Amino acid sequence: MLTILLSLFIGSIGILVIYYVLFGKLAFARTSAPPENLAPVSVIVRTKNNAELLRQTITSILAQDYPVFQLVLINDASSDHTLDVIEEFAGRYSNIKTVNVISNEAFWGKKKYALTLGIKAAKYNLLVFIEDNYIPVSDHWLREMSRNFRGKKTLVLGYSAVKRVKNVFFNALIRYDNWLRAVKYLSFAHAGLPYSGLGKNLAYHKSAFYEVNGFIGHMDMKNGEDELFVNEVSTAKNTTISLSKYARTRSVTTPSYREWIQQKREGFYVFRNFKLGQRVLLNLFYIAQLLFWLLPLPLIFLARNPVTVLALFLFKWVVQFVVMAKLARKLGEKGFIWLLPLHEFALISVQFYIFITSFRKSTRWK
């Protein structure tokens, strides 16, 4: 039994170190900004019952330092005064295009249907996506995202942060979760294995959308308009990432605990539609993390030389801290890295809870 447990423990550390080497390639990569590409772009924002926050998003986009861009605002059958806000801005700015999805259309495809209408209405081939409760962190956001459309690159993955609230553990936890998720999909994309991206900061060619018939392959899924689309169209040749500090977006609000858990559940159902090899790779990381936390205590009591177990335990943390601290700085995150063990343990526990309770629900429509 001791031999089996020790082998599992050493194996879990070996797997995690391999992942941290992969993450380290992103953390310590020296990248030079490609030349500017100031081709016209269409910014896509879909909104539903979010009138007040939408004002901030619209204002921040209109303030972009970019020569020619269109802002497509999609009102997805809102019941508040969202449409009034959109029409107010549209009356003042000629580069705003409004798309109003009325209630008798909204049943078909939900968010993906609304986005499809917005994409069709877009004037330009270069599309940049942001959600209605996010804002760019700088007025060079569009410049930094669009400069990555070069050669055969038709898909750009950006980083979107969660608003920081100081000295609040739960806020640090959800920021850690959001950051780790991005670390994984950005690192894999950097290594030529793209699998996901988020519509909070995402850009792609309109022509790429039509090449796969849009969201038709997963239209019956409630979510995944960003992740499943990226999963379907991304390749090593057509996908790139934007790590510029000026290319980031961030939320203007933070989710409640219940909202965060719901988002995690929805993400789990989307994950189940990834390709088999991708699911194996991502699950392997989680399983290795779980074993790393479960095995040390029984090994310390059973092993004749517990110092070896402690040394392996510390070795993993040293490697992890070196890589992840660098990545936190690279993505502009502060305040949670020094509590990394606590956040990791909490997130693993939450993910395990969601896993064992997720099979009771379904995102398929009846």
Which residue spans of the chain are classified as CATH 3.90.550.10? 41-271
Q: Residue 155 pairs with which residues in a beta bridge?
A: 204, 239
What's at 239, amino acid-wise?
T
Distance in angstroms (rounded) separating the CA atoms of residues 156 and 146 = 8
Which residues are CB-contacts of 151 (< 8 A; sequence separation ≥ 6)? Answer: none
43: left (phi over 0), alpha (psi -120 to 50) or beta: beta
Distance in angstroms (rounded) separating the CA atoms of residues 113 and 204 = 18
Enumerate the H helices of 127-168 as residue ranges: 141-146
Q: What is the mean pLDDT for each group of 10 consecutive residues in the chain (366 residues)?
A: 91 98 95 87 97 96 98 95 97 97 66 94 98 98 96 97 93 97 98 97 97 88 90 97 97 94 92 94 97 94 87 96 97 91 96 83 42
The encoded tokens of residue 147 equal 């400069």
Enumerate the H helices of the chain as residue ranges: 2-27, 51-62, 82-92, 110-121, 141-146, 169-190, 206-211, 227-233, 257-271, 276-294, 296-302, 306-330, 340-357
H/E stretch holding 96 = strand 96-101
pTM (2 decimals)? 0.93
Q: Superfamily for 41-271?
A: Spore Coat Polysaccharide Biosynthesis Protein SpsA; Chain A (3.90.550.10)
Cβ-contact 203, 149 below 8 angstroms:
yes
What pLDDT score was predicted for residue 312? 95
What's at 286, amino acid-wise?
Y
Cβ-contact 6, 304 below 8 angstroms:
no
What pLDDT score was predicted for residue 322? 97
- 10 Å CB burial of residue 318 (0-12, 13-18, 19+) is exposed
Q: Which of 72, 211, 84 is nearest to 129 (CA)?
A: 72
Cβ-contact 98, 86 below 8 angstroms:
yes
Report the interhelical angle of 51-62 vs 82-92 (nearest 10°): 20
